[in-house]
């Protein structure tokens, strides 16, 4: 059986990164011969098998032919006559179209190793246009590899722009868009994802609420970067730094300022009430992409409350407790720390201000801890019904005032 290690494991080894899951291609076999050798079939759209001992995935070498619109419109051919080179030719980028033989030698018909050396993300061939999801994959790879110095090849960016103009990105189902977005905002450089999509026109298709922020001015004394789209890029990168790999924090950071796209021109560059205005477009985005409930809830809290957290030092203890209550911070205490992190990313995600301290985050956490320390057993005896809740609220306000020095 002729097997070859392919894809990300080969690419990451050449990049000096820790490889993830290993995928294998098998040449010259059939489904029957694979099953006879003890491999367990698991593929629905094309023949993929699990190794009987390692559990790793082995796929028969295959070709794909476009048969309809969207990323699902393909006819797969996994005939034993399909060669390794033909299998590699159907892959998206040259850096992913490298195979490794058993002795460690490389099969690299499209110059992927050379592009890894040059730090270039380049499409393999003309078949790239047949799968609109590859536009998002290009952007997501940039979110992961931009810190290594990667750029998208000019001809690939041009091709992606053509794909956007064809209208095929509209065929992408929400779950696939969210899958790529989720991985991108959990990467080291989410801004590269946004910038790549924006530059080829795809952001306006998949995330129009975010794309609308580009070119919207902000007050330079608070936002030296001025452009709101650039600000969101910086916020997402700061969120990735403060909470590495956390797509929950990343999504809230991405969507916290959507209301600024709705500010009337005669009000700019001020954005009065943008935190409330942003809730409607956020909900629309979440419905369209079927965003998970936990992500929606934190994003809406961050959108609505981030200015209140920024001015947390000015709040009375009673107002601080109300803020925590609005966030459901007593039933779901993790939310307050998450909100603090998103707000810190917002404040430090500004040109030249990335190293500024953000004491509001610790102040919010301290107030929350003081309020949570109040227990029902500490309340006066004999209280019933609503009186218990009111007494609890008053005790929490007193506790926050004592812990933070705030006025009641």
pLDDT for position 67: 53
Highest-scoring range by mean pLDDT, 9-13, 69-73, 296-300: 296-300
CA distance 69 to 168: 7
**Beta-carbon count within 10 A of 121 CB:** 25
**Stated pTM of the model:** 0.90
Q: What is the pLDDT of residue 21?
A: 81
pLDDT in tens, 225-243: 999 999 999 999 999 999 9
Question: In the prediction, which pLDDT does 126 show?
Answer: 87
Give pLDDT, residue 262. Answer: 97
pLDDT of residue 235: 98
Query: Quick one: what percent of the chain has pLDDT higher than 90?
Result: 79
Q: In whole numbers, what is the pLDDT of the chain averaged over residues?
A: 92
Mind listing the domains of the chain with CATH numbers? 1-116 (3.30.460.10), 132-206 (1.10.110.30), 216-408 (no CATH)
């Amino acid at each position: 059986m002729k097997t070859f290690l392919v894809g990300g494991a080969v690419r990451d080894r050449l990049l000096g990164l820790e490889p993830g899951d290993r995928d294998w291609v098998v040449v010259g076999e059939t489904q029957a011969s694979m099953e006879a050798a003890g491999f367990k079939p698991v593929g629905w759209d094309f023949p993929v098998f699990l190794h009987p001992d390692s559990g790793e995935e082995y796929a028969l070498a295959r070709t794909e032919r476009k048969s309809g619109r969207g990323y699902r419109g393909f006819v797969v051919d996994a005939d034993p006559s399909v060669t390794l080179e033909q299998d590699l030719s159907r892959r998206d980028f040259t850096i992913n179209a490298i195979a490794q033989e058993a002795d460690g030698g490389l099969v690299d018909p499209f110059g992927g190793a050379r592009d890894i050396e040059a730090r270039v993300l380049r499409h393999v061939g003309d078949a790239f246009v047949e799968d609109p999801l590859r536009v998002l994959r290009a952007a997501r790879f940039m979110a992961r590899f931009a810190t290594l110095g990667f750029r998208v090849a000019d001809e690939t960016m041009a091709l992606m722009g053509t794909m956007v103009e064809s209208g095929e990105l509209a065929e992408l189902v929400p779950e696939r868009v969210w899958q790529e977005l989720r991985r991108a905002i959990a990467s080291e450089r989410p801004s590269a994802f946004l910038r790549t999509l924006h530059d080829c026109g795809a952001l306006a298709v998949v995330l129009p609420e975010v794309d609308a922020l580009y070119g919207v001015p902000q007050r330079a004394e608070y936002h030296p970067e001025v452009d709101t789209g650039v600000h969101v890029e910086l916020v997402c990168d700061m969120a990735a730094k403060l909470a590495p790999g956390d797509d929950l924090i990343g999504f809230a950071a991405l969507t916290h300022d959507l209301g600024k796209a709705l500010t009337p021109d005669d009000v700019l560059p001020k954005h009065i009430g943008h935190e409330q205005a942003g809730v409607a477009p956020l909900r629309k985005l979440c419905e369209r992409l079927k965003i998970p409930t936990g992500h929606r809830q934190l994003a809406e809290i961050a959108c609505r409350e981030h200015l209140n957290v920024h001015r947390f030092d000015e709040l009375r203890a009673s107002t601080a407790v109300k803020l925590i209550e609005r966030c459901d911070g007593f039933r779901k205490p993790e939310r307050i720390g998450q909100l603090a992190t998103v707000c810190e990313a917002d404040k430090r995600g500004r040109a030249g201000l990335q190293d500024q301290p953000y004491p509001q985050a610790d102040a919010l956490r301290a107030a929350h801890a003081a309020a949570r320390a109040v227990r029902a057993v500490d309340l006066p005896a004999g209280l019933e019904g609503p009186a218990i809740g009111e007494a609890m609220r008053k005790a929490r306000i007193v506790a926050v005032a004592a812990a933070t020095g705030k006025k009641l």
